[in-house]
Amino acid sequence: MLRVNASSSKWTAFFLLCLALCSLLTPAVTVKHEKFKTCAQSGFCKRNRAYADTALSTSSWSSPYTLEASSVKFDKGLLTGVVTKKVGDETVRLPLTVAFYESGTARVTVDEEKRQKGAIELRHNSKAKKERYNEAEKWAIVGGTALSKGAATSQGAEKGTTRVAYGPGSAFEAIIKHTPFGVDFKRDGETQVKFNGQGLLNVEHWRPKIDKPVPEKKEGEEEKKDGEETAAVETEDATAEDEGTWWEESFGGNTDSKPRGPEAVALDISFPGYQHVYGLAEHAGPLSLKETRGGDGKYSEPYRMYNSDVFEYEMDSPMTLYGSIPFMQAQKKDSTVGVFWLNAAETWVDITKSSSSANPLSLGIGGTTTTNTHWISESGLLDVFVMLGPKPQDVVGAYSELTGYTQLPQQFAIAYHQCRWNYVTDEDVRDVDRKFDKHKIPYDVIWLDIEYTEGKKYFTWDPMTFANPLGMQKQLDEHERKLVAIIDPHIKNEGNYYVVDELKSKDLAVHNKDDNIYEGWCWPGSSYWIDCFSPKARDWWKGLFRYDRFQGSAKNTFIWNDMNEPSVFNGPETTMPKDNLHHGGWEHRDVHNVNGLTL
């Protein structure tokens, strides 16, 4: 017989009531959405979504891009040509390369001739580079790009196409359509991946800014509020492009100057017969990526990739997080394919699905679902790798050959790590270490946050609270334990601090749009950011970690590299302005998502 103690039951009920009251009284903690853009607040995303809406709602729509047949050349696994688009009296020329690699991976790259040649004018007397950013490969690709010796071209079966057979046993095909330009990737005769099948390819070409005259105010006319005039102009021609964010864009009190004007690249990539797609890390959502348009439990926003320090992020959201990996796999029974979108700028991806019904006369063959994706990046090249599988390990293997394999961690790193915010003295660390032994709890590593430093100056120790760092590490080492200390790539702006003095004297910091050292706010307060796109800055930064430079560190000291999105507390979207300048004249907008790879 089950006996219930009455007194115990009452206390249980009281405890549950207290929990319920606490949940009502405690305010909900959630991300501050107003600090981060939606697609509608991001000019290039809004423009390309509108472009897609026009294309998909117009029955007579045809993509305006054409591959000039006379320009097509093929040699030793590399196809080149020129894609053109007619804009008024101007013909925009976009150099095309399609590379076929020994690994079976294909790569499609589209540049812009006028920017490529530097034949454009920059606004605001900017020192920014004129070309589209073309160095993402330097940071992301480590191998797998040996051109195929067996790839061969021939006239396509359809008129106006070029066919390239490649891959193991020439089982893969790229059918390159000339008008409109597009590419179908096939395996064993069946289309697996389609580029520009929906006609959403859009390369925002360079154009000079034409200052439109401001309409004269008529007598008795009321003063227009911000935004009203632009809206009125736009409604005069429903087909006209929205120029409101071409040349500058404001958000959260910051104005982003755009010296190169609009330069987004966008492309639809479809996976015929594939119902599920995976990837696009890093997001807090389900593994099988959700649709982003259409309501009924779908996301209302595209998946965003713009590395951000998002505090208290939400679950089940396409909102951007700390890292971006623009790699997507599509999977169905007995087949997996993948694409890798090599672009370091802010990127949004829409996902929709379309289904075909089963034909009642098809003898049991069911309907199929196709996943359609729309990729949109703010700047840079259109540069996409395609892996045709057919097995998951084939796709992941090809991707890993391109971007590198995960490094095997040190043996101690896979054991238990003790970390909390924050240990405030070296004696505190020693005491925790002793108590783990006292209570027979095994651990291998203990972590220190920024409070170990003197006034939040990296490569220093607080002389009052961490007076004997080597003695602390000696005790850890005697127990075969390691210390991890945080060091972030922002440097406190304070006099008589040797690190910032060297950073300024050697001119190794990120610059602002006016080509002066950029100053922002982070944990130490006023700070400068190391520009590790500069080889000299990287060498200097690495040298700071030597034992003779980081005095007080020992052989069992390891480093926690944090805040490298980069995180800037008073910057737009908690990062640095997009028109900041890096080594070589590249704007921060071009390199944002690979910044962490440089440090």
User: Judging by DSSP bridges, how do beta strands 482-487 and 417-418 pair with one another?
Assistant: unpaired
**CB atoms inside a 10 Å sphere around CB 119:** 10
Residue 365 — pLDDT band, cuts 50, 70, 90? low
Residue with tokens 């951000």: 308
> Which whole-number Å values give the CA distances from 169 to 108, 165, 184, 335, in the listed order?
21, 9, 19, 18
pLDDT at 243: 87
Residue 502 — pLDDT band, cuts 50, 70, 90? very high
DSSP string, 99-143: EEBTTS-EEEEE--HHHHTT-S--STT----SSPP--HHHHH--S
Helix extents (H) in 136-262: 136-140, 228-235
- Arithmetic mean of pLDDT, 312-337: 96
- Arithmetic mean of pLDDT, 497-524: 98
Token digits for 426? 């070296």
- Arithmetic mean of pLDDT, 251-257: 94
Q: What is the pLDDT of residues 520-578, one digit of tens each?
A: 999 999 999 999 999 999 999 999 999 999 999 999 999 999 999 999 999 999 999 99
pLDDT at 3: 38
Question: Rounded to the nearest 10 degrees, how much is the dihedral formed by the CA atoms of 7, 9, 10, 14?
Answer: 140
Question: Does the pLDDT value for residue 311 go beyond 70?
Answer: yes
CA distance 457 to 461: 8
Token digits for 235? 């409604």
- Arithmetic mean of pLDDT, 248-267: 96
Partners of residue 172 on adjacent β-strands:
166, 187
Q: How far apart are the first and last CA of the chain?
A: 66
pLDDT at 227: 38
Q: Which domains does the chain have, with CATH numbers?
A: 47-206+261-358+366-403 (2.60.40.1760), 417-597 (3.20.20.80)
Contact 138, 145 (CB under 8 A): no
**CB atoms inside a 10 Å sphere around CB 105:** 25
pLDDT at 361: 61
- Arithmetic mean of pLDDT, 250-257: 94
Judging by beta carbons within 10 Å of its beta carbon (0-12, 13-18, 19+), is residue 273 exposed, middle or buried? Answer: middle
Token digits for 392? 């998951």
Residue 29 — pLDDT band, cuts 50, 70, 90? low
Pairwise pLDDT comparison (477 vs 212), residue with the higher score: 477
- Arithmetic mean of pLDDT, 276-303: 94
Residue of 517, 538, 410, 522 lying closest to 458 (CA atoms): 522
| Residue percentage of the chain with pLDDT more than 70 | 88
Q: What angle do CA 531, 537, 542 make, to 5 degrees?
A: 115
Q: Which of 233-242, 290-299, 376-385, 507-516 is the least confident region?
A: 233-242
| Residue percentage of the chain with pLDDT more than 90 | 82
Residue 393 — pLDDT band, cuts 50, 70, 90? very high
Residue 390 — pLDDT band, cuts 50, 70, 90? very high
Q: What is the pLDDT of residues 406-445, one digit of tens each?
A: 889 999 999 999 999 889 999 999 999 999 999 999 999 9
Question: Does the pLDDT value for residue 220 go beyond 50?
Answer: yes
pLDDT at 223: 53
Question: Does the pLDDT value for residue 226 go beyond 60?
Answer: no
pLDDT at 2: 35
**Distance from the Cα of residue 588 to its chain's centroid:** 13
* Radius of gyration for the alpha carbons in the chain, expressed in angstroms and rounded: 28
Judging by beta carbons within 10 Å of its beta carbon (0-12, 13-18, 19+), is residue 472 exposed, middle or buried? Answer: buried
pLDDT at 364: 58
DSSP state of 218: P
pLDDT at 154: 84
Phi, psi for residue 410 in degrees, rounded to 5 = -60, 150
Token digits for 27? 């305010």
Phi, psi for residue 203 in degrees, rounded to 5 = -110, 110
pLDDT at 7: 45
Q: Which of 80-94, 357-371, 470-484 is the least confident region?
A: 357-371
> Which whole-number Å values give the CA distances from 413 to 6, 320, 416, 473, 559, in the listed order?
50, 28, 8, 17, 12
User: Kind and range of the H or E element at 444?
Assistant: none
Sign of CA dihedral 129, 130, 133, 134: negative
Mean pLDDT, the chain, whole residue set: 91
**CB atoms inside a 10 Å sphere around CB 386:** 24
Contact 401, 144 (CB under 8 A): yes
CA distance 132 to 271: 28
- Arithmetic mean of pLDDT, 177-186: 98
Pairwise pLDDT comparison (22 vs 116), residue with the higher score: 116
Q: What share of the chain is helix, strand, coil (3-state, %, to 5)?
A: 25, 30, 50
pLDDT at 239: 43
Partners of residue 99 on adjacent β-strands:
78, 107
Q: Give the count of alpha carbons within 13 A of 368, CB side only.
A: 11
Contact 566, 490 (CB under 8 A): yes
Pairwise pLDDT comparison (239 vs 514), residue with the higher score: 514
pLDDT at 520: 98
- Arithmetic mean of pLDDT, 93-111: 98
- Arithmetic mean of pLDDT, 187-196: 97
pLDDT at 233: 35
Token digits for 87? 């804009």
Contact 485, 452 (CB under 8 A): yes
CA distance 174 to 121: 37
Residue of 191, 158, 156 lying closest to 172 (CA atoms): 191
Residue of 588, 29, 534 lying closest to 254 (CA atoms): 588
CA distance 130 to 126: 10
CA distance 491 to 497: 10
Token digits for 154? 């021939």
Question: Does the pLDDT value for residue 25 go beyond 80?
Answer: no
pLDDT at 1: 34
- Arithmetic mean of pLDDT, 165-177: 96
pTM of the predicted protein model: 0.90
CA distance 521 to 591: 21
Question: Does the pLDDT value for residue 242 go beyond 60?
Answer: yes
**CB atoms inside a 10 Å sphere around CB 527:** 24
User: Kind and range of the H or E element at 248?
Assistant: strand 248-251
